[in-house]
Chain A
Amino acid sequence: MTATAPTAPAPPARTAARTGAGPLAAGRHWTEHGLVFTAPFLLLYALFLVWPVLLGLKMSLGDDNIAGTDSEFTGLDNYAEALRDPEMWSSLWNTVWFTLLSTAPLVVTGLVLALLAHHLRVVQWLWRLSWFAPFLLPSGVVGLLWLWMIYPSDFGLADLLLNSLGLDPGIGWLTDTRYAMLSIAATTVWWTVGFNFLLYLAALQAIPRHLYEAAELDGAGAWRRLLHITVPMLSRTTGVVVVLQLLASLKIFDQVYIMTGGGPDESTRPVLQYVYDAGFTGYRIGYASAVSYVFFALIVIVSLIHLRMTRRSREEAAK
């Protein structure tokens, strides 16, 4: 386990300072307690995170099937195949496309809802209940609910509502390649915007009142206070919310699997479903591992940006 440590990124540097003085830290006879305290976690961590990371790497270098019988070492063949595989690229693109489609509406809507709730200051429970409650529903419930709401063109709620407004769009929300991903993105906004809403609401409540009072005395209107105080004061939160949202959107699987199964014509199949299709229904678990690692590379890039941002904001906070 320790063998992998040198390759790990180096965030622990800032933990050095805290060992410091004090009888507890120095008490030599308590040294062994440290390992006792950390052992249960480290054991589970080694078994179900570190080991699968290594096993996946090994599997990606062989032709493993799901039964795990006689696999042969095939070197980088799986990776070479993945990079030449148009299905891998189209599923990876679907994941990125969903991420691009969903991130901006999720962040902006979250901010707008938080601003409304914060400024109204009445019936807070109502705003929290209506905008955050969907976040507490399992993806199975959300996926099936929206499937049955938008898929049946004759009795689904979406078309019934549009009909009652005198519109008859006749759109296959989930069966038309032009609209399927948009429908899934809309479902996701409804489902998870409450999370961003809460993060923004907490950040809004932390902005010192006196800034607004001073601006008000200077005669700044509501709009200018929003643009020149609220938005700049929220910039750090926005950075974090955007990155968390990117990471969450990249992991898209549940809604697609439940609502379209990846269709129509594989136009919504995300990369995680391709891993599932290759490994769990196609039994090529070695190849599935290789595709997972290509996907992992994408996640790591976004995570590293996140890490840099949090470090920078921490430095700013320390000033």
Chain B
Amino acid sequence: MSATAKAVNPAAPSAGPAGEAGRRPRWTPGRVALLAAALVLAALWVLPLAWAVATSLKPENETTRTSLEWIGSQITFDAYEKVWASGDLARWMLNSAYISVVTTALTVATCAMAAYGFSRTAFRGRRTLYGLVLAGIMVPPQVLIAPLFAEMVSLGLVDTYWGVILPQVAVPAMVFILVKFFEGVPRELEEAAHVDGAGRWRVFWTVVLPLSRPVLSAVAIFTFIQTWNNFLWPFLVTTDPNAMTLPVGLVNVQSTYGARYAQVMASLVIAGLPLLLVFAFFQRQIVRGVAHTGLAGQ
């Protein structure tokens, strides 16, 4: 990898913590104090989540008591049953899953191809076009909501999956990250495959992509999280509850739960759970993906 690529990726594997794992410092009083501070801070961060779960498990008529109680007279899943039975949550979850998967697949595919084109082929206007793409890093999608919405109206894509997906696919920062990575892939490997008779597509599929698996998964993870959690654009482009994503539907339906506190909390737990579960299983990959992609792009 070139020096520039390292500059945007301080998580370079060579300096990882693996080498020091064996050397664990002793428990001096100072270190015990640090541990205590960390535990207090961790508890502070977990508190709101714990409160959501605790409230969602109380009987509805006990949720507005004015004394601090973590557990009600009984633990009940009533609120979950009621919220789930309304059907909307399941629908929005499927919408979110579909939209996030398609957006991620399209983003990885188009950005990887474009990055390869920009870093390894020669064509007229290549540098100008790449400059134009890089300039796009400075344009946050949020400043385009008005014209983008007008465009969606004239394309007839309001309240459709494609209306949510298409504006989220062409992310210049992802092209930039991938170009930086491809520049570090040794040309000799590609040339050897070429000498063996592989065409450009074969070289891309069988040599470059397999070598790029870490960076591709980083881009995919980052894109998936962004899309799953995106609020503003899906909120603007969907008005039909059947087309809404999970975060948008949740906010939209708020008023209908009224003061049913346990049900509100149950719906939040259901909505927050999918990504947290994924995180529990893929902690390492997600942490690496976010740290790597986050620094270079955004």
Taking Cβ atoms with an 8 Å cutoff, the residues of A that contact B are: 1-2, 4-5, 8-12, 15-16, 18-19, 22-26, 30-38, 40-42, 44-45, 47-53, 55-56, 59, 64, 66-68, 113, 116-117, 119-122, 125-141, 143-146, 148-149, 152, 154-155, 157, 160-161, 163-164, 190, 195, 198-199, 201-203, 205-209, 222, 236-237, 240, 244, 247-248, 251, 253-254, 258, 272, 275-276, 279-280, 285, 288-289, 292-293, 295-296, 299-300, 303-304, 307, 310, 313-314, 317-318
Instruction: Say yes or no: B117 contacts A37, CB within 8 Å.
Output: yes
Interface positions of B from 107 to 150, Cβ below 8 Å from A: 109-111, 113-114, 116-123, 125-140, 142-150
Q: Within the complex, what minimum Cβ distance (angstroms) separates A2 from chain B?
A: 6
Contact between chains at B276 and A136 (CB < 8 Å):
yes
B interface: dominant SS: helix
Residue B228 is within 8 A (CB to CB) of chain A in the complex: yes
Contact (Cβ within 8 A) A201 B291: yes
The 10 closest A-B pairs by CB, nearest first: A37-B117, A34-B121, A140-B247, A41-B114, A34-B123, A12-B131, A56-B147, A138-B247, A38-B117, A202-B11
Partner of A44, one of B34, B143, B153, B170: B170
Q: Is B30's beta carbon under 8 Å from chain A?
A: yes
Provide the bound-state CA to CA distance between A19 and B132, in Å.
18
Q: Total A-B pairs in contact (CB under 8 Å)?
A: 342
Cβ of A214 to closest chain B Cβ, rounded Å: 16
Write the nearest CB–CB distance from A90 to chain B, whole angstroms: 19
B interface residues, Cβ below 8 angstroms from A: 3-4, 6-8, 10-12, 15-17, 19-20, 24-25, 30-31, 34-35, 37-38, 41-43, 45-49, 51-52, 63-68, 109-111, 113-114, 116-123, 125-140, 142-151, 153-154, 166-167, 169-170, 172, 175, 179, 183, 187, 190-191, 194, 200-201, 203-204, 225, 228-229, 231-232, 236, 246-248, 250-251, 254, 261, 264-265, 268, 271-272, 275-276, 279-280, 283, 287, 290-291, 294-295, 298
25 CB < 8 A contacts A-B: A4-B132, A10-B131, A16-B127, A25-B121, A59-B146, A64-B150, A116-B37, A136-B225, A136-B276, A139-B247, A141-B271, A145-B268, A148-B264, A148-B265, A155-B63, A155-B65, A155-B66, A160-B67, A202-B295, A205-B15, A237-B10, A244-B298, A253-B142, A272-B142, A317-B7
Q: How far is the CA of A144 from the CA of B55 in the complex (A)?
A: 14
Other contacts beyond A136-B279, A154-B66: 9, CB < 8 A:
A5-B131, A49-B170, A120-B34, A137-B229, A137-B275, A138-B231, A144-B250, A244-B294, A253-B231
B residues in contact with A135, CB < 8 Å: 290
Q: Identify whether the interface residues of A are mostly helix, strand, loop, or mixed.
A: helix
Residues B123 and A128 in contact, CB atoms below 8 Å apart: no
Interface contact A12-B127, CB-CB below 8 Å: yes
**Contacts A25-B120, A148-B265, A195-B294 given: A139-B144 contact, CB under 8 Å?**
no
Beta-carbon nearest neighbor of A33 in chain B? B200
Contact A254 B48 (CB under 8 A): no
- When A11-B135, A125-B283, A318-B3 are in contact, do A292 and B146 touch as well, CB less than 8 Å? yes
CB neighbours (8 Å) of B47 from chain A are 157
Taking CB atoms, residues of chain B closer than 8 Å to A280 are 149, 236
Q: Check A203 against B10 for contact (C-beta < 8 Å).
A: yes
Q: Which of A23, A59, A138, A300 contacts B138 (CB 8 A)?
A: A300
Contact of B170 among A5, A30, A48, A132 (CB under 8 A): A48
- Complexed CA–CA distance, A160 and B261 (Å): 15
- Which residues of A are found within 8 Å of B272, using beta-carbon distances? 136-138, 141
Are B271 and A140 interface neighbours, CB within 8 A? yes
Interface contact A144-B34, CB-CB below 8 Å: no
**CB nearest neighbor in B for A162:** B68
Chain A residues with Cβ under 8 A from B122's Cβ? 19, 25-26, 31, 34
**CB-based contact A130/B42 at 8 Å:** yes
B190 neighbours in A (Cβ, 8 Å): 24
Least CB distance from A1 to B in Å reads: 7
Q: Give Cα distance in the complex from A254 to B226, angstroms.
A: 14
Q: Give CA–CA (A175, B52) in the complex, Å.
A: 22
Q: What is the bound-complex CA distance between A108 and B123, given in angstroms?
A: 46
Q: Quick one: which of A41, A59, A133, A207 contacts B150, CB cutoff 8 A?
A: A59
Contact check, B150 vs A317: say whether CB atoms are below 8 A apart. no
Given contacts A2-B125, A38-B117, A48-B166, contact A202 B10 (CB under 8 A): yes
Q: Which residues of B contact A203 (CB under 8 A)?
A: 10
How many whole Å from B234's CB to the nearest CB in chain A? 10
Residue pair A157, B51 in contact (C-beta under 8 Å): yes
Query: CB distance B183 to A18 under 8 Å?
Result: yes
Docked-complex contact A52 and B144, CB < 8 angstroms:
yes
Which residue of the partner chain A has the closest CB to B204? A37
Q: Say whether B111 contacts A12, CB under 8 Å.
A: no
How far apart are the CA atoms of A24 and B135 in the complex, in Å? 27
The chain B residue sitting closest to A251, CB to CB, is: B142
Q: Which residue of B lies closest to A319 (CB)?
A: B3
Contact of B139 among A23, A38, A49 (CB under 8 A): A49
Residue contact B148 to A128, C-beta cutoff 8 Å: no
Most chain B CB atoms below 10 A, which of A34, A251, A292: A34
Residues A11 and B134 in contact, CB atoms below 8 Å apart: yes
* Contact between B153 and A68, CB atoms less than 8 A apart: yes
Chain A residue, CB-CB nearest to B8: A310
User: Complex formed: what's the CA distance from A303 to B122 in Å?
Assistant: 29
Please give me the residue from chain A that is nearest to B270 by CB atom.
A141
Indicate if the CB atoms of A8 and B142 lie closer than 8 Å: no
